Structure 1
Amino acid sequence: MRIVSLLPSTTEILFAIGAGDDVVGVTFECDTPPEALERTIISNSAMPHGLSPREIDDYVAAALARGEDLYHLDADALRSLDADLVVTQDLCAVCAVDVSVVDEALAYLGCTAQVLTIDPHTMTEVLDSIRILGAATGHDDAAAALVADLQERLAAVARQVAQHRRPRVLVLEWTDPRSRPVTGSRRW
């Protein structure tokens, strides 16, 4: 099987379940495990290098407003790899190549690779995605073992913190939250 992974997280999962030898193409962000760096890079960022957080935010906002993609898919590299399976996402156009771009490129190239979209929103869905990748690549047993190991690790953490008060946490996912004016506030 020849696999192209367009997400760093799925690249890591594929290697973890023993499908790493089948991975032939990855994104510019796929650097774990180190062996992933030896694969053909299929997608790159359209964003110029060296931007500050504010410049990144401005670039992303402007590109999205113009309807431009934030990533470039190398169709020639994709064609040369003759993939059987392309793993992508449809969760976030800012995070990776959009699945519609992948579908269009494969259709244009006449490629009949299966496109597998992985979009986990919860920890349970992350674990399910491991099982899905295992089934798609013939590594069901290794995927089940990895999930069992991760579930045990999560349970161990839960046991360790069970008696502690849960802290209040705020997560801001933004390159420079000061770059956009705050138009209101919300009390949680």
Structure 2
Amino acid sequence: MPDPKPMRFRLIPLLILLFAGSAGAEPRRIVTLAPSLTEILFFVGAADQVAGVSDFCNYPPSVKGKPTIGGINNLNYEALAALQPDLVLCPEVNRDLLSRLKRMSKAPVKVISTDRVSSITANIRALGQLTGHAPRANALALGLEKKIALYARTSEKIKNPPLVFYYLWNDPLMTAGGGSYIDDLIRLAGGKNVAGGKKILYPIYSWERLILDDPEVIFGPSNLEKELRELGKKSELRAAKKRRIYSLDADVLSRPGPRVIEALEKLSLVLKKG
């Protein structure tokens, strides 16, 4: 995990992306299409500037009072237009979806990368600056960076980290590869990602390959709890034999946002279990 200071320099290209082609005025009616970005806006104190959110934005609890406009794959463009946003914040999506969103939205669309742990504090600073909450955002980002750095130093001291497999999806079997947000979490929590050498962020994984790799720990999101229980019955897997297959809160685990420390706490506890 990089030192906190270099992480701040990654903010520069992100700020250029956010401010390119925009006026100096702070946006007052933001629509956000990613739960992680919604959480960041509320975290930095910009809740009153959020006009609408996606159907999947459910945290913090106060977000429930915000109008919803569907999901990124089934966006209600009429509802979006009715909110009269002055900015739409979007995660990285495929080219066709982004092209349609830009074509249908009358407001500027800003695409923000959320693919690494290091992007979290950069996004907090950038969105804090964008919405007029820079001092609070900078202080919060610095606090997170210090905690993340502590996890990084602790994990570096582990001589034989447990081999870990992330159960992203069951049909087809998928996991998180090297350079992904989950790969970062596994490493920072003190584990070694089975698929860390994969160049694809979220590769399909064969059952035969999983048996050969024989991870010590398998974990996945809580929405796949039933599938994970079934996996625990597979006697071919070391993790099943040792009862080291776990489901963790899907929202906390998979959102690159302010709750990253909670995700690291939960995962590190799982990896420390014998």
Give the paired residue count. 155
Per-residue displacement from partner, 1:35-74 (whole Å, max 9, x unpaired)? 1111110124xxxxxxxxxxxxxxxxxxxxxxxxx72211
- State the identity %: 33
1:157 Cα deviation after fit:
2.7
Unaligned runs of 5+ in 2: 1-27, 175-203, 214-274
1:73 corresponding residue in structure 2: 75
2:173 and 2:207 in contact (8 A); partners too: no
Per-residue displacement from partner, 1:60-114 (whole Å, max 9, x unpaired)? xxxxxxxxxx722112211111111110012468xxx9322321211xxxx2x22
Q: Which amino acid aligns with 2:77?
A: A
2:89 and 2:111 in contact (8 A); partners too: yes
Q: Is 1:168–2:163 an aligned residue pair?
A: yes
**Of 140, 149, 153, the match for 2:147:** 153
2:92 and 2:114 in contact (8 A); partners too: no
Q: Is 1:137–2:131 an aligned residue pair?
A: yes
Q: Which has the higher contact order (CA 8 A, sep 6+)?
A: 1
1:134 and 1:140 in contact (8 A); partners too: yes
1:20 corresponding residue in structure 2: 47
Equivalent runs, 1:1-188 vs 2, <5 Å:
1-44=28-71, 71-91=73-93, 98-106=97-105, 111=106, 113-165=107-159, 166-177=161-172, 182=206, 185=209
TM-score norm. by structure 1 comes to 0.70
1:19 and 1:137 in contact (8 A); partners too: yes
Unaligned runs of 5+ in 1: 45-69
Per-residue displacement from partner, 1:124-181 (whole Å, max 9, x unpaired)? 2222122221222122222211111111221333354454332222223224345989
TM-score norm. by structure 2 comes to 0.50
Aligned Cα RMSD in Å?
Answer: 2.9
